[in-house]
Amino acid sequence: MDFKRNILVTGGAGFIGSHVVRLLVTRYPDYRVVNLDKLTYAGNLMNLKDVEQMPNYVFVKGDICDFERVSELMNRYAIDGVIHLAAESHVDRSIRDPFTFARTNVMGTLSLLQAARNYWESLPEGYEGKRFHQISTDEVYGSLEISHSEGIASPFTTNASSEHHQAYGERFFREGDNYTPHSPYSAAKASADHFVRSFHDTYGLPVVVTNCSNNYGPYQFPEKLIPLFINNIQHRKPLPVYGRGENVRDWLYVEDHARAIDLVFHKGRTGDTYNIGGFNEWKNIDIVRLLISTVDRLLGRNPDEDMDLITFVKDRAGHDARYAIDSTKLQRELGWEPSLQFEDGIEKTVCWYLEHQDWMDQITSGAYEKYYEEMYGNR
pLDDT digits (tens, 9 = 90+) for 160-195: 555 556 778 888 999 999 999 999 999 999 999 999
Catalytic annotation on 242?
no
Q: Which helix or strand (DSSP H or E) is residue 83 part of? A: strand 81-84
Cα–Cα distance measured from residue 47 to residue 44, given in angstroms and rounded to the nearest whole number: 6
pLDDT digits (tens, 9 = 90+) for 234-286: 999 999 999 999 999 999 999 999 999 999 999 999 999 999 998 889 999 99
- If one compares 212 and 365, the residue with the highest pLDDT of the two is 212
Percentage of residues of the chain with pLDDT beyond 70: 92
Beta bridge partners of 283: 248
Q: Is the pLDDT of residue 375 over 80?
A: no
Other residues' Cβ atoms within 10 Å of the Cβ of residue 176: 7
Sequence-separated (6 or more) residues with CB below 8 Å from residue 67: 111, 114, 115
- If one compares 92 and 283, the residue with the highest pLDDT of the two is 283
Catalytic annotation on 185?
yes
CA angle (157 as vertex; 287, 133 as ends), nearest 5: 80
The per-residue DSSP string of 312-326 comes to: EEPPPTT--SB--B-
Q: Is the pLDDT of residue 373 over 60?
A: no
Cα–Cα distance measured from residue 374 to residue 358, given in angstroms and rounded to the nearest whole number: 18
What is the pLDDT at residue 378? 47
pLDDT digits (tens, 9 = 90+) for 49-63: 999 999 999 999 999
- Rounded to the nearest integer, the mean pLDDT of the chain is 91
Q: What is the dihedral of CA 288, 142, 321, 276, to 10 degrees?
A: -40
pLDDT digits (tens, 9 = 90+) for 96-112: 999 999 999 999 999 99
Cα–Cα distance measured from residue 243 to residue 315, given in angstroms and rounded to the nearest whole number: 4
Catalytic hit among 63, 80, 138, 262? 138
Cα–Cα distance measured from residue 346 to residue 166, given in angstroms and rounded to the nearest whole number: 17
- DSSP reduced 3-state for 52: coil
Catalytic hit among 52, 63, 80, 139? 139
Catalytic hit among 127, 168, 185, 253? 185
Catalytic annotation on 119?
no
Q: Is the pLDDT of residue 13 over 60?
A: yes
Cα–Cα distance measured from residue 78 to residue 51, given in angstroms and rounded to the nearest whole number: 21
